[in-house]
Amino acid sequence: MQNKLRSSRAQPVTGPDHHAHKILPASASNSVQFDRLQALFDRSFKAARVGIWECTLPDQSITWTDTVYDLFELEPGSPLLRQDTVDMYKPESRRKLTELRSAALCEGDGFTLDAQIITAKGNLRWIRITAIVEREGGKPVRIFGMKQDITAEKNTFEHIRKLAETDAVTGLASRMKFEAVLDDAVAGQMSKPQALLLVDLDGFKAINDTLGHQAGDECLKDAGRRIVEAAPAATLIARLGGDEFAIILECNSPAALEVIGRRIVTNLECWVGSYPAKLKISGSVGAALIVPGMPAKDIFASADRALYAVKAKGKNGLELSLSSDPMADVA
């Protein structure tokens, strides 16, 4: 059967039964029923890409069912050395596996881990490992469990995550992603000082009202491209919604922030459409240095006040908020 345990040892398997998951029949009279259920059980494991594994201690001899060989893209029944299989895990997964396994053998009864491997054929794959430690006299004598292919599950999750973190119109980061990165910046998790710039497009409503929403979407895409051109090394460029954009970038002084901000303002100024429906687009930008430890909402509020100061002065310009006091007025 597919899940027949295959061992690298010369002697018979001594830990689990011939089938690690086999169900013993209650009597000879229901043997046909048992065989049918056993076949269904094995087929279910195969369909779910689940295999059984064991490692005896202290000799570290390992035994796999055929499905586990398939997960690692190794020939079923081929010799197994534990270190060779561990080397197939990606470094971070290998580190976590070593840590969890050591802790379980010392004092625990098992663990579960989602890990990445590079198969014998060079393919990247996600597997879910469950492990149980068997002890005799308080000492671990065997560790065993299941390995399941969860690559499709992980790929689906990653696709959903990317959709949530990406603005559908411009392809820039979404507001959700922006908030996460801003939180990292204020928590001091960036290696270098950062700044926040908020951008509103001046004249965007007229584009939508006069030329239509399709032209408005193209205008947003073009504005995103222009911001990227003006700040190519930005940590993050996001569309917050409507005609609002945000940039988080490396910056350690007001002077450097002003240079970048002015470049964004200049790059955003353009004309959309053709005569007689030719409309001007520009950008109002408010900026603030990110102070680690200062609440994200207060830094955002500082940049937002600077942005509205620009609008109050006639738009198409830059204002810096240089105060670390969230209640201070913008100069």
* Segment 138-188, tens digit of pLDDT: 899 999 999 999 999 999 999 998 899 999 999 999 999 999 999 999 998
In this prediction the pTM is 0.66
CATH says 5-155 is which class? alpha beta
Tokens 């109050």 found at: 312
* CATH number assigned to the domain covering 166-321: 3.30.70.270
* Segment 11-69, tens digit of pLDDT: 333 334 444 445 455 555 567 766 677 667 667 777 778 999 999 999 999 999 999 99
Amino acid at 44: S
Q: Cα–Cα distance between 65 and 62 in angstroms, integer?
A: 10
* Segment 227-254, tens digit of pLDDT: 999 999 999 999 999 999 999 999 989 9
Strands (E), the chain: 5-7, 50-56, 62-65, 110-118, 124-136, 139-149, 194-202, 236-241, 244-250, 270-272, 279-289, 318-321
Residues 322/331, Cβ–Cβ less than 8 Å: yes
Q: Cα–Cα distance between 309 and 195 in angstroms, integer?
A: 18
Taking the domains of the chain in order of start, what are their residue ranges?
5-155, 166-321
How much is the pLDDT for 46? 74
Q: Beta strand 279-289 with 318-321: parallel, antiparallel or unpaired?
A: parallel
- 42 vs 197, residue with greater confidence: 197
